[in-house]
Amino acid sequence: MAPGAKFASFLFVILKESRPGVTTEESPWAGLGTLEPDIFGMNESQYYVYLMTNQTKTLYTGVTNDLLRRVYEHKLKLVPGFTAKYNITKLVYFETTTDIYSAIAREKQIKGWLRVKKINLIESSNPEWLDLAIDWYKTDYSRSLP
């Protein structure tokens, strides 16, 4: 199954379970069934700056307009690169904004920080470094997630 099909299938299941009976005919997801693509308040006018890590606490900072999709891509290593190479699969921090320029500036700011400052940011809201996305993906694919 192609990664896009796997994602669409996963999205259908989680959205169907979270909001049964809700349909969005105008949505780009129309035709996939009962969907509500904004289940976490994520829509095209929201932007997310996020930090992810692995078991050895290697840090990755990113920005996206769809945190649900982007974390899923990291967890399943759908995009080759740093996060796939270093098994970065655990979301430990994120913040939101409605301005893409602010999100990009914040991502660059955090990337420029020393490691200790990034750790302090994470631990200010997540002192145990828990995976904030641990229960976002309640599908058959969750068994294969790290």
**Does 47-138 carry CATH code 1.10.10.10?**
no
From the list 78, 64, 87, 62, the residue with the least C-alpha distance to 8 is 78
The string of pLDDT tens digits covering residues 74-121 is 999 999 999 999 999 999 999 999 999 999 999 999 999 999 999 999
The pLDDT of residue 144: 56
The string of pLDDT tens digits covering residues 25-65 is 433 333 333 334 444 554 558 999 999 999 999 999 999 99
Q: Where are the alpha helices (DSSP H) in the chain?
A: 3-18, 67-75, 82-85, 100-111, 115-125
The pLDDT of residue 61: 98
pTM attached to this predicted model: 0.67
Tell me the C-alpha distance between 116 and 121, whole Å: 9
Tell me the C-alpha distance between 37 and 64, whole Å: 15
